[in-house]
Structure 1
Amino acid sequence: MSQITEMRLGVTFPTFGPDAQPEGITKVSRTAEETGYDSLWTGDRVLAPVAPSTPYPGRGGVMPGVYENHLDPLVALTFAAAHTSRIRLGTSTLNGLWQPPVMLARSLTTLDLVSHGRLDVGLGLGWMPEEYRAVGVPWKGRGARLDETLDVLEGYWSGGSFAHDGPLFSVPETRVGLRPQQRPGPPVLLAAFTPRGFARIGRRLDGWLPGAMPLTDLVSMWSAIVKEAEKAERDPACLRMALRVNPELTDTRTDPEQVPRRGTLQQYVDYARAAAEKGVHELFVDFGQTPVTLDERIELAGRFLTGVRAG
């Protein structure tokens, strides 16, 4: 079996923009499962400030207009789970710091249970201070807050009695009867691009959620994560990488140096196949940031899947 066929392929479903409606979720989710995609993904936004203090990390620093209309990611994933049966369900990324960790643990456990063990938890820290301000969570100290959140998730999923007493959160000893279908819990992946983030992945998490970048950079960062896992005496083979691609499609081929920032559909197909050859475990694509209709979005997803798996 070649690496091309081993790499899992995913696609986002509409939780942003004009197609973020029940009909859009149902149509994309069912079609993705029927055509052979391995996973469905969604993101997380709570604000679209008129004048954000920090530029958007991509697309010239301008946040896509589709983010002005955003559904709750976990509610949307639950709806998608009810209309599918096989395809995995992931968040890329869920901001895990915007709610108390014990509430997050209950929501994630419920979703894993009702989806029959299909959940992948992709966490991120976000990029916009205004969102933290809106939900009443400090922007400063995000890394420490994430570590304690992970502690609570692990405790909640450990089974039996559980208690937590930390600098930020306190959970009195309690019996937890709610258990996820995946044991000890759904896989947790992290979007990170700093040495501290790489160390966190290597030390305690299940994988990495990078955004599309030149593959030489991707391989270098992954090597850093592998080294961190080895330092923590963990088997790096237990980690996985799920690469997010947000295409900016063009009608004509762009200079190869512009890929994966922008290019034709075929150039993105070629990028995906090259990523598979470099050992990427999973790649998922978001056509929702491309100005197309829902039917065109589904058609692009079908052509992309066929192109990557051809040959």
Structure 2
Amino acid sequence: MRLGLALPTFGTDAHADGVITVSRTAEALGYDSLWTGDRVLAPRSPSTPYPSQDGVMPRIYENHMDPLTSLAFAAAHTSRVRLGTSTLNGLWHPPLMLARSLTTLDVLSRGRLDVGFGLGWMPDEYAAVGVPWEGRGARLDETLDILETYWAKDEFAHQGRLFTVPETVVGLKPEQRPGPPVLLAAFNPAGLRRVARRASGWLPVAMPLPHLMSMWKTIAEEAESADRDPSGLRMALRVNPTLTEVEAEEFPRSGTLDQYIDYARAAAEAGVHELFIDLGQSPASLDERIDIAGRFIAAVRRG
């Protein structure tokens, strides 16, 4: 199982030195990938509760960096680790502009980009960027149509329900062919079907492993029904550790480092392809989080 680490693109460590330190250290420690998320607003009273146990949005989101720019910066300071978004809200961007940005990042990183899309949870952000909250699934499908065609063809045009792109020559192509892997965060039946039928893989969050693997089985069955080989799909599992000094009954929402290490080992045995941890919501300092990341990968690799 591959292991990844989130970049410090939120909170007080979201600055150049923080990104450089984590990028270089992660690569030196043997991590396989670096990940970042997407945020454009941090209202004190969101219109929809944050999807967590207490419904309160973490205050680290008040300081947020652009995910694609951050990954380009990380690419310049690394040579091996893959670079992923978990998740990028692609619907906030015109699809043609998104295609150009993603292609550029894949070229500049020499083919290390994993594109993870999510639909978000807060209508306020959609309002702020002038994109309708309703119809997000259809908007994502048409965005994926445009990306796939943009990456595949030398001459490209699109006429759809939401977007029109006049015919153009597309000279810049991603280093990964036919394009960077696209993974989707999804949990409802329609979203899981979309993963199975359209994506390279799935971006779930930590949950009890029996439930996780049951959802993965659903994706595999949907892929087979769409004449796709489910063995070609991959799962990249996000874990947001809330560390405590005693074992927590509400794990994996919170627990000890040893519990998260055991969880990662069990995930590998269950067939999870990749697991990445995001320590950004920990009150620990950057140096302390790097120490935790080092202890985590060393223990999981020992297995």
| TM-score above 0.5 | yes
Cα distance between partner residues in 1 of 2:153 and 2:97: 16
Cα distance between partner residues in 2 of 1:240 and 1:270: 21
Structure 2, unpaired ranges of 5+? none
Show the counterpart of 1:3.
none
More displaced stretch, 55-64 vs 93-102: 55-64
Cα distance between partner residues in 1 of 2:12 and 2:150: 37
Cα distance between partner residues in 2 of 1:126 and 1:276: 28
Cα distance between partner residues in 2 of 1:200 and 1:185: 18
> Quick check: 1:151 aligned with 2:141?
no
Structure 1, unpaired ranges of 5+? 1-6
Show the counterpart of 2:191.
197
Deviation sequence 1:182-227 (CA, Å, 0-9, x none): 0000000000001111111111110000000011110110011001
> Quick check: 1:188 aligned with 2:186?
no
Show the counterpart of 1:65.
59
Q: CA deviation at 1:153?
A: 0.2
* 1:40-79 matched pairs, under 5 angstroms: 40-79=34-73
Q: CA deviation at 1:68?
A: 0.5
Amino acid aligned to 1:296 = E
Q: Classify 1:278/1:264 alpha carbon distance in 2 versus 1 (closer, same or farther; 3 Å).
A: same
* 1:280-299 matched pairs, under 5 angstroms: 280-299=272-291
TM-score, L = length of structure 2: 0.99
Cα distance between partner residues in 2 of 1:308 and 1:56: 30
Show the counterpart of 1:213.
207
Cα distance between partner residues in 1 of 2:269 and 2:112: 26
Match of 1:211, SS?
Answer: coil
* 4+ runs deviating over 6 angstroms: none
Cα distance between partner residues in 2 of 1:50 and 1:259: 27
Cα distance between partner residues in 1 of 2:155 and 2:53: 47
Cα distance between partner residues in 1 of 2:42 and 2:129: 14
Q: CA deviation at 1:59?
A: 4.1
Q: Is the contact made by 1:159 and 1:177 (CA closer than 8 Å) also made in structure 2?
A: no
Show the counterpart of 1:172.
166
Cα distance between partner residues in 2 of 1:143 and 1:204: 12
Deviation sequence 1:227-284 (CA, Å, 0-9, x none): 11001100001100000000110011223xx211110001000011111111000000
Cα distance between partner residues in 2 of 1:22 and 1:206: 31
Cα distance between partner residues in 1 of 2:44 and 2:27: 37
Deviation sequence 1:51-92 (CA, Å, 0-9, x none): 111111114111111001000000000000000000000000
Q: 1:250 aligns with which of 227, 244, 253?
A: 244
Show the counterpart of 2:293.
301
Q: Is the contact made by 1:13 and 1:41 (CA closer than 8 Å) also made in structure 2?
A: yes
Match of 2:165, SS?
Answer: strand
> Quick check: 1:98 aligned with 2:99?
no
Cα distance between partner residues in 1 of 2:236 and 2:52: 19
> Quick check: 1:14 aligned with 2:8?
yes
**RMSD (CA atoms):** 0.7
> Quick check: 1:116 aligned with 2:115?
no
Show the counterpart of 1:38.
32
Amino acid aligned to 1:156 = Y
Cα distance between partner residues in 2 of 1:176 and 1:216: 45
Cα distance between partner residues in 1 of 2:54 and 2:296: 25
Work out the number of aligned pairs and report it. Answer: 303
Amino acid aligned to 1:18 = T
Identity of aligned residues (%): 71
Q: CA deviation at 1:159?
A: 2.6
> Quick check: 1:278 aligned with 2:270?
yes
Show the counterpart of 2:258.
266
Q: Is the contact made by 1:202 and 1:226 (CA closer than 8 Å) also made in structure 2?
A: yes
Match of 2:12, SS?
Answer: coil
